[in-house]
A and B are shown apart, each in its own frame.
Chain A
Amino acid sequence: MSDVLILNGRLVDPANGIDAERDLLLRDGRVAAIEIPGVLKNVAAAETIDASGCIVAPGFIDVHVHLREPGQTYKESIATGTAAAAAGGFTSVIAMPNTVPVNDSVAGLEWMLDAARGSVVKLFAMPAATMGSMGIELSNFSALRKAGAVGFTDDGKPVLEDDVMRAALVRAARLGVPVSQHAEDTRLTGGCSMNAGPVAFRLGLRGMTVEAEARIVERDIRLLREIEKAEGLRPHLHVQHVSTARAMEAIRAAKREGLHVTCEVAPHHFTLTDEAVGNYDTHAKMNPPLRVEADRVAMVAGLMDGTADTIATDHAPHAAHEKEQEFERAPNGITGLETALGLTLRVLHRGQGMTLSRVVELMSVNPAHVVSLEGRGGLAVGNHADVVVFDPNTDWTFQATNSKSKSRNTPFNGAAMLGRVRFTICEGRIVFSN
């Protein structure tokens, strides 16, 4: 018997309009029953979880993680990265393709998704939009889609050429999946290692401008408009890790116009500014870079008003020796799976009054919609039994040394967090408990 009973919790399931005390029965990897308190109390189950004082929600879904396998398992592996995901309350993650080699083939995708890799949570992948993520020749979208691709991206790099991006959007639209874009005009960011502005000037570092991000977002939105008009298709653009007020505003306008644009914001972009670089702290080096306060506030506003669809971590592990380099030489990226909830609750829920329902929307419901994961992102009877149980009121301090990830590259070591994951249940299996 594999039944799991979750009693005494507050079920927050915006997908099904529930925010109330409910008990849940999970059976054979699916949600078997949702009842008011008392109804399920006599059900015999292999595991019974007392969720008193906790939120019971659909498991979090991260549409943007780097698991470094194949090729860079000294940083992370699918097993360790997904263990970190489980510890953060995530039951599904979407792996980016910038592995070594780049995930641009059916064989590569199938290898990655094979159970032998030891994924602890449900693993999905976005293969490369172009071969080798070189931005020139599209990968085989239809074959990759059949093999399980949930979208396409050259993440880490943009698809720069207009005609290539247009073709990618058209082909993806025919398959009903998004093209996920790393919005950076790399023609404007050569040699840059942080946000352009007074901090970069003082530190003597070349800065990435707001324009470098916004130009690509604005270009992609223009392409959507043109394709809709010319081809009668409705392509889906997903803008990754938005970091600037200008790009957020462009997305807001595009949504108002009715175009199919979604976007994500990373916790570090709504929490920190470029001041966090301090004395060249490579743990504050990421791409897009930490921006100024006005941009940070714009990310918060986008998350509050519905312009931003999802919180995504851009979990990007790097080994200590790689970050212990000169700032300009160190790789971009930070880990994020285990700090996402703690920062979201601290900054958005406590700091901005975001409802827990909206938090769950941003971390579960909406990401499921972005990549069309059927039966996930909500806890209706019959759905996959992907559940997170978290205590929303516990203040705690994140210690990187306790991370399940292989890497420790985070600016949030020692940072205050709010809310603790107690249980993560993926398809009915308890994959994390605390």
Chain B
Amino acid sequence: MGSATTPKGSEYAPGSLLTISDVPLEEVSAILAETTRIEQLPRSERAQMLAGRTVALLFYESSTRTRTSFELAAKSLGATTTLVSDKSSSIEKGESLKDTGLTLRALGAECIILRHPCSGAPFLLARMTGLPVLNAGDGMHEHPSQALLDLRTILTRLHGVAAATTARQDSLRGVTIAITGDILHSRVARSNALLLPKLGARVVLCGPEELLPETALGLGPGVEIERNFDAALERAQVVMMLRIQKERLAGLELDLADYVARYQLSSQRFTKHAASALVLHPGPMNRGVEIDGEVADGPQSAITEQVAHGLAVRSALLVRALGAGRFESVTV
């Protein structure tokens, strides 16, 4: 068992998950183990884990899979959930994030799951409320629960179910993961590039300069840049495709046809360069743009498995955030 994400004396509540970079490897391991343990519990027992507890989902951006995943996870553990979205709420009337958070806390929320268009918003909410906050995606910054579910998916597929209960420095030694597409705007890419090298993986970021600046190398050791997608594929055991986030391009002109020609994971390209690689995508997918439908639905694709792992991992994160069950002993 490792120590909790937030060190003693931190201004953030124990059990918060704001950035994956704060989570030590032992803690990642504990989360993976807890995920498997919860998954294996009888449904009735699982439903008691967070009985009587209240979780708020605060969503400033529309989301299908992340919101549903967290919501179903909380409900399956017996928690009461409340959803506040930017439409038809005090947010729409201009209430600040701080005041919205304080209101939710006063109403009994013990943990807040936050999706927000501004990078760093979960840090603010955690500081202002003192509650554990789970970052469900903040601007272009991070999506740490996605990185954890991606990790579980990779470990399960590459090494089997038993291997997905621990994270060691060498768990992914010799594994190259190519993350391709709109890296600049991708919180999924950032979280994965920060997490996977901790387990020994090489992360090869791939994309055109306008979507992948050289400053990405600053994410840390174990991260490199490869502009040639075919070359990246040749090396990869795992290929993670990302969509182009048109809503964040902010005036950036992109020749879509050229992009598709250079960076689409087409069936032909996949077969030629990485036929045995595992294919991931955090969704939503734009079939025919960054990925060919045939590859997305093919036997090497673990895209729907990622969704299932998401539900399990988020259950563990909620248990951890609320200090329930065995996790109580590992939170500070």
A residues engaging B (CB < 8 A)? 190-191, 196-206, 279-280, 321, 324-329
Contact = CB atoms under 8 A, between A and B. Distances in A.
Question: 3 tightest A-B contacts by CB?
Answer: A198-B218, A280-B120, A204-B141
B98 A197 contact: no
B102 to A, nearest CB: 11
A202 B183 CA distance: 11
Given A200-B215, A321-B98, A326-B120, 15 more contacts: A196-B215, A201-B184, A201-B216, A204-B120, A204-B139, A205-B119, A205-B140, A205-B141, A279-B123, A280-B124, A325-B124, A326-B97, A327-B118, A328-B119, A328-B120
Interface of B: 18-19, 96-98, 116, 118-121, 123-124, 128, 138-142, 184, 187, 190, 213, 215-219, 250-251
A201 B215 contact: yes
A198 B213 CA distance: 9
Contacts of A327: 118-120, 124
Contacts of A190: 250-251
Contacts of B141: 203-205
A28 B96 CA distance: 52
A329 B213 CA distance: 24
Contacts of A203: 119-120, 141
A201 B218 contact: yes
B32 to A, nearest CB: 24
B126 to A, nearest CB: 9
Contacts of B190: 202, 204
Contact of B218 (A199, A205, A280, A325): A199
A203 B118 CA distance: 10
Nearest to B139: A204
A327 to B, nearest CB: 5
A206 B120 CA distance: 12
Given A191-B250, A204-B140, A204-B187, A326 B124 contact: yes
Contacts of B119: 203-205, 280, 327-328
Which of B98, B139, B187: most chain A CB closer than 10 A?
B139
A198 B215 contact: yes
A152 B114 CA distance: 45
A324 B138 contact: no
Which of B120, B123, B187, B216: most chain A CB closer than 10 A?
B120
B262 to A, nearest CB: 22
B73 to A, nearest CB: 25
B213 to A, nearest CB: 7
A283 to B, nearest CB: 12
A198 B214 CA distance: 8
Contact of A328 (B118, B215, B217): B118
Contacts of B219: 198, 201-202
B96 A325 contact: yes
